[in-house]
Amino acid sequence: MSISFPLLAKKPIIYLYFEEMFKIPTLYYYYKRMLKASELLGAEIINIDKILFNNILDSKVDFLKYTELLEKVYLKDVLEFDNFEILLNSFNNLLFGEMDLAKN
């Protein structure tokens, strides 16, 4: 889960998309996921077809949102499932709504 590294290090997360993503259904699906994740983290989402790369260096970190996501994903009271199942379920819940891991 590559998102873990910037979250733990409190570094900016920047989501990049391009115009073609609106024309191809699979890529549009990934674009929608990026939108949801950027909302959860207060991260920037940038159209690479229309940017100046100097602006990327000015990205900021929303420490409160990062901390909230880390607590939701990594801090669990009881480990009923293996770590991979917990992480997968947590990210899926954040991106797609609540799901019950015990039912899967």
Task: Give 7-30 pLDDT, tens digit per residue.
Answer: 878 888 889 999 989 999 989 999
Least Cα distance to 6 among 98, 69, 56 occurs for 69
Report the domain count for the chain. 1
pTM value is 0.53
Q: So what's the pLDDT on residue 82?
A: 66
Is 95 in contact with 9 (CB distance < 8 Å)?
Answer: no
Q: Is 45 helix (H, G, I), strand (E, B) or coil?
A: strand
Task: Give 26-81 pLDDT, tens digit per residue.
Answer: 899 999 999 999 999 999 898 988 876 656 566 677 888 888 888 777 776 655 66
Pull the structure tokens for residue 72: 């939701």
Is 35 in contact with 45 (CB distance < 8 Å)?
Answer: yes
Q: So what's the pLDDT on residue 72?
A: 78
The residue range of the domain holding 45 is 4-103
